[in-house]
Chain A
Amino acid sequence: MQIATRAPRGLCRTPIWLGFMKRIGCLPHVFADVHKIDLFSNLDDLLRKVDAVIITAENSLHHNYAIRAIEYGLNVLCEKPMTTSLTDADDVVRAVNRSGVKFQMCYVMRYHTVTRVAKSLLDEGRIGKVLAMVGSNRVRRDLPIARDWFVDKDRAGGGAIMDHTVHLSDLMRWYTGSEVEEVYTVSGRNINPNIGVEDNFSTTLRFENGTLGHIDGSWAYSSGYYTWGRCGARGDWERGRSDD
């Protein structure tokens, strides 16, 4: 059940649902052709044939697709953000718990080599207890506007805050094993005035265990340069630091 132009390698035999044919013209056909996969114009037909579903559609559709897949007893891997509202997210969690299917979020940053190395250093206690973290996700200013739904508040669920915070807050929760207790966010004047969502922000976090965090996210970088999933942790009495 994916509509994307870049298919995960190894999943190319997975049938995809042709749900957007009218909306996005010939793209599904091109996609199916390139990856040699079947197209379905009826979602139920597809769901009856598969064991698992990967949801990579635009954010506002995650909830509906997940619920329908779960109703068929299918395991779900869902792109971030989970949904575009907490109510919808709670709904998905309840459905998963009722049905007993596997549900996982695509928090891909947990799978980067460097973030895994950092995690193992932290778990080994190499810098002691984590006391503070600063993270940044800054991508090129032209990237988001290459996809129209990405800068549509209703379909994406928000702008740069929604796009980046889920990644870095997940990374920080993973590193600390603690939940966020206090949040302060301010989004600055847009670098790109022609989009209807915020394109930069500064977020300060305090976790339940006292750890401080900062997230700097934007779609503001000039072309040819970006940082993604950068997170430095400042540790305690052993006083170490892992950067990037």
Chain B
Amino acid sequence: MDLRVTVTSELGVALLGYGFMGSTHLLSWRLIEGCKVIGVWGRNASRLNSFCEEYGVEAFHDLDKLLRDERVDIVDICTPTYTHHELTVMSIEAGKNVIVEKPIALSLNEADDMISKSRRAGVKFMVAHVLRFFPDYKRVKELVEQRSIGNVASLRAHRVGPAPSWSSWFLDKNKSGGVVIDLAIHDIDYFVWLMRSMPVSVYAKVTNLVHKDHDVDDYALITLVFPDGAVGFIEASWAMPSSFPFTMKLEIIGDNGMLQLDNRLSIPLRMWTSKGEETFSPESLQVRLGGQFLPLDPFYRELSYFAKCVKEDIDVEMSGEEARKSLLLAIAALKSSHSNAPVTVSG
């Protein structure tokens, strides 16, 4: 994917949220040529002030004022999930293009409302499923598309670590949706993207293993069956000890070979086929741009992509409709766990 942004005039960005994702996005926006962060809004005035002071950016205490600002072309929503719907709708109604952190929202009704309002307003709307912009995950997708391992028959993903320590809202089911809607949704979205199809059934066991003083699920085992009979398995955990490093593993088996990805290895990606073993170093996963390597940072690549879509009027691949699919499957997984039975997915 060519991430160059054609510079005609500068794109203005309004950042909503000053948490972990807010700072991550802010630093990435600053590296993107032709984009400028106009200001940051957040609910808590003193936290907003200290964030903006630390990063040297203008604080907006009045959200309407920021959304009405003519310099703003893009609103980047990095606030907790339960606020996504309200802030997205407000931004769309102000005529702005919106990129919102994943998951799209907590309910399908909210997601549908966001999708239909963005369509009616004719603005660009993207959900930031960043895994699609990780160089190694992206390379797996390319290798599968090139039929390097043949038809995919088996997929497995592990996304395990301690609960997010940077903010407390994750451990509130009503704010984050819990480990399936917030964490497993990464791999759900990735599987749907890789397979180019929706699973036909979902089975899951979802539970609270260690956060007994919180009303939240922190562990999930999810099995997805695809229309061609391929089976995907996802383990997602916020239940690991705080000393345990965040771990993401992916294994894709095709009828002619297999791929393994492990973020804890110095060689993060390896492929085995009848031709032998092929390894992919971090360096080999970089994307070249005019003779220079782009930063590996997936957030930089994700935000650059959205800026390009806005600038050049390109349809967003990671659209609201696309994000709705993984939310629907996450909700199906929760239903399956509650009903102790596989859930058939229709539509």
A→B interface (CB under 8 Å): 131-132, 134, 182, 184, 186-193, 200-202, 204, 206, 212, 214, 216, 218, 220-225, 234, 236-241
Contacts and interface: CB of A to CB of B under 8 A. Distances in A.
Interface stretch (B88-96, B172-180, B230-238): B230-238
A82 B223 CA distance: 29
A174 B342 CA distance: 28
B219 A191 contact: no
Name A's interface SS.
Answer: strand
Interface stretch (B97-105, B253-261, B279-287, B293-301): B253-261
B164 interface: no
7 contacts: A188-B225, A204-B205, A212-B205, A214-B233, A220-B253, A221-B272, A234-B237
A232 B159 CA distance: 14
Contacts of A225: 258, 272, 277
Nearest to B341: A184
Nearest to A212: B205
A200 B154 CA distance: 8
Given A204-B205, A222-B257, A241 B210 contact: no
A216 to B, nearest CB: 6
B26 to A, nearest CB: 33
A211 to B, nearest CB: 10
Q: Which 9 A-B pairs have the closest CB atoms?
A: A189-B229, A188-B231, A222-B272, A239-B241, A131-B209, A202-B233, A220-B253, A191-B153, A202-B223
B166 interface: no
B273 interface: yes
- The interface centre, meaning the residue of B207, B210, B228 with most chain A CB atoms within 10 A of its CB, is B210
Interface in B222-269: 223, 225, 228-231, 233, 235, 237, 239-242, 244, 253-255, 257-258
A202 B205 CA distance: 13
A239 B207 CA distance: 15
A188 B227 CA distance: 11
Interface of B: 153-154, 156, 158, 203, 205, 207, 209-210, 219, 221, 223, 225, 228-231, 233, 235, 237, 239-242, 244, 253-255, 257-258, 272-274, 277, 340, 342
Contacts, number: 100
A135 to B, nearest CB: 11
Contacts of A239: 210, 239-242
B219 A212 contact: yes
A185 B219 CA distance: 19
Contacts of A234: 209, 219, 237, 239-240
A222 B273 contact: yes
Given A184-B342, A241-B244, A189 B228 contact: yes
Name B's interface SS.
Answer: strand
Contacts of B210: 131, 236-237, 239
Contact of B239 (A132, A214, A220): A132
Nearest to B156: A216
Given A220-B258, A222-B257, A190 B153 contact: yes
B240 A241 contact: yes
A206 B336 CA distance: 14
Contact of B230 (A184, A188, A212): A188
B233 A224 contact: no
A241 B231 contact: no
A221 B221 contact: no
Contact of A216 (B233, B239, B272): B233
A141 to B, nearest CB: 9
A177 B228 CA distance: 38
B157 to A, nearest CB: 11
Contact of B153 (A184, A204, A206, A220): A220
A192 B242 CA distance: 41
B320 to A, nearest CB: 30
Contacts of B239: 131-132, 234, 239
Contacts of B255: 191-193
Contact of A184 (B203, B244, B254, B273): B203
Contact of B219 (A132, A193, A218): A132
- The interface centre, meaning the residue of B153, B219, B228 with most chain A CB atoms within 10 A of its CB, is B153
Contacts of A204: 203, 205, 221, 223
A8 to B, nearest CB: 32
A188 B154 contact: yes
